[in-house]
Amino acid sequence: MKLTRIVQQEKQKDRYSIFVDGKYSFSLSENALLDAGLAVGQELSQEDVKHWKQASADDKVMGSALRYAAMRLRSVWEMEQYLKRKNASPALAEKILNKLININLLNDEAFAKAWVANRRLLRPTSKRKLQQELKAKRVPEEVINITLAEDEVVNDRTALREMIAKKRNLSRYKANPMKLMQYLARQGFNYDDIKQAMNSVDEA
């Protein structure tokens, strides 16, 4: 069998279609193609074609993982789950995870810091709630503790007062302050802190 054409794809400019004996056989990303050293006119055995078809499938998973990581910061566990959904073999998953970690696209510490910063910016919440959310993302306990210890920009009481000021005039809470207290408790705030914060806001 002979490799007869290498053609850049129209929709995915970073991928190239490989034709063997005049028929489409598989595709590779530009980087994978360069690493492969394939060239028009090259003779390929059936085993070679089988190998490159598998490499093509693995290369597509790698590309998808890179795009998934580039969309926003992910925890290592999130990427592991993504690769499982893509049916990546254990060996391929390990290879992809190591690559993403090495190029710093996957970093639990950076993920935890970004998660806390975004939550503080978009919707104030308690450190207890943040801890629960990071645990749900399987961020290591040590990383969570360090991240929350460094989170000095907005403390729990400040976040609590901000939430009360924002929520208390909503009709469902204005008529029934107890509902607001219950909501705040579900966000991870201590009951005594809630009561004290509500009183301080009333006095302001």
CATH number of residue 32's parent domain = 1.10.10.10
Residues 186 and 137 in one domain: no
CA-wise closest residue to 196 among 146, 148, 157, 159: 157
Q: Tokens 């008529």 — which residue?
A: 175
pTM, entire model: 0.66
Residues 89 and 22 in one domain: yes
Residues 56 and 90 in one domain: yes
Domain of residue 162 covers 155-204
Residues 57 and 140 in one domain: no
Give the CA distances from residue 183 to residues 41, 47, 104, 159, in Å, rounded to whole numbers and listed in that order. 69, 62, 38, 14
Mean pLDDT by 10 residues, the chain (204 residues): 92 90 92 89 93 91 92 94 95 95 94 88 78 95 90 66 80 80 80 76 57
Beta strands in the chain (DSSP E): 3-8, 15-20, 23-29
Residues 8 and 53 in one domain: yes
Residue 142's pLDDT is what? 95
